[in-house]
Amino acid sequence: MKRKRKEKYLGSYHEWPLWFKGFLVSGIVLIAGVFFFYTQTIISQIKENSRRVMNTYAKLWQLAASAPTGGAEIDVIFEEIIQKSDFPIVVTDAKGELQAWRGVGVEWDDTTYMSREKLKKMVKKMDKHRKPIPIYFGTRREVINYLHYGDPVLISQLKIMSLVEVGLLTLFILIAFITFRNIKMAEQRTIWVGMAKETAHQLGTPISSLLGWLELLKMRGQPQSQRRGDDSDLSFEQIAERMRSDLHRLGKIANRFEQIGSIPELKPTDLNAVVAEATAYFRQRLPHKGSGVTIKDSLGSLVPAKANAELISWVVENLIKNSLESVESREGMIEVSTSLDKEKKTVNIEVTDNGRGIPFRLQKKIFKPGYTTKKRGWGLGLSLAKRIVEEYHQGRIFLKESIPRQRTTIRICIPIG
C-alpha cells in the first residue's frame, strides 16, 4: 500500500509538465470562453437596444405620416433622427419598392440599376435576421412603408473583436507551446550531457585505480632487476583486495545510474554506516586534494531510516566533493555529521566546510540544474542530490548557512518512517 502511494507521488512529479500544460491550455480556453461569452452578451444587449430604437423610429415615422401636415414631418424625422443614427436602414413602400436608405454603403441619391439590386439583396439579408417594422397611416392602420434595418457598426466591430481574441489566444497557446518545448529540449540536452559527464567522472577514479593495480601486478611479474618504481610493499593478496574494492565501486556506480529515472527500493538503513563509508572513501582516494585537508565524521545515535543506501551515499559524496573543491588545500576542514530529530521524525545529515562559501545572491540557485561556479562543471551535482532526497525519499535538502572561510553547511533530512 505504501509502495502504491510512492508510485503515485513519483509519477505525478515526472508528469508535471503534462498536467501543467493541460492546466495552462484549460485556463486559456476558460479565459477565451469568458471573453467570448461577455462579448456575445454585449452584442445581444446592443441588438435588443437597436430593436427598441428602431421601433421608436417607426412610431415617430408613423406619427408623422398620420399627422395633417404630412410629408414635411417625415422629412424632418428622416433627416434629423434616422439619418443621424448608426444603423443600416432601408425604407420601402408597401409593395417593397425602395424609398430611402442610410448606412448601407450606397449614396442616398444613387438610383442606378446596380445600386438598387445591391440594396434589394441587403433588404433580403436584413429580413432574414429581423422582421421589418411596418409603418401605418390613419385609423385604418394601412401600411404605407416598411422599415428594414441591420446591426449597428459597433456590433460588427465586436464580432470582429471576438475573432481577433480567439486568434490572439490561439497564437499565444502556439507560442507558449513552442517556447516550452524549446526550453524542455534545451534542459534535456544539458541534463544528458551533464549525466554523461557525471558518469565519466564517477567511473574514472575506480578505472584509473584498477589500471594502476594492473600495472603494479605486471611489474611484480618481472625480474627484480627490471622493475622500475615498484616501491610498494603490498602483497598480491592486498593488491587483489584493493582491486576487488574498486570493482565493487564500479558495481555500485552502475547500480546508482540504473536507479535514476525509476522507483528505487527503500528499506530501513543505517545512515551512519552510509556516511562512514563515504567519508572513508574520500580520505583514502583523494590525497591529491592536499595533505592539509581534514575529512572527519561525527556520528550521532540514530534509528534506521527508510532509504536507499546507494543513492544517499551518492548524495553525501557529491556534497563532500563540492566541499573539497571549495576549501583550501592546506587548511581545509570538512565534517559530516548525523543526528536524530525525534520531534520531526527525521534523520539529519550535515556536511560542513570552511571553504569560500556561497554568495547570498546565489544561495537560492544552487540546487537548480545548470548552476555551477566551476569553469568545467555542468551544475548537476546538487540538482541530482535534490532530486534523490526530495523526489525519491520525500525528504528535504537545503543550505543551512554560509559564512565565507568560516562555515558552510548543507543539511539533508530523511524521514524515519
Tell me the per-residue pLDDT of 109-128, one tens digit each, with 9 for 90 and over.
888 999 999 999 999 998 98
Determine contact, residues 403/380, Cβ cutoff 8 Å.
no
Distance CA 172, CA 185 (A): 20
> Residues 6 or more apart from 174 whose CB is under 8 A from it?
none
What stretches in the chain show pLDDT beneath 70?
Answer: 1-21, 24, 54, 58-59, 61-86, 138-140, 156, 158-159, 162, 184-202, 204-205, 221-234, 255-262, 285-291, 369-380
pLDDT of residue 20: 67
Instruction: Give the pLDDT confidence score for residue 349 in this predicted structure.
Output: 95
**H/E element holding 408?**
strand 407-415
Question: What is the pLDDT, as a whole number, of residue 143?
Answer: 84
Identify the pLDDT of residue 316.
92
Q: Which residues of 336-369 are buried (b: 16+ CB within 10 A; e: fewer)?
A: bbbebeeeeebbbbbbbbbbebbeeeeeeebbeb
**What count of residues does the chain have?**
417
pLDDT at 41: 80
Q: How confident is the model at residue 100, as a pLDDT?
A: 84
Q: Write down all domains in the chain, each with its CATH number in brackets.
A: 19-151 (3.30.450), 266-415 (3.30.565.10)
pLDDT at 71: 56
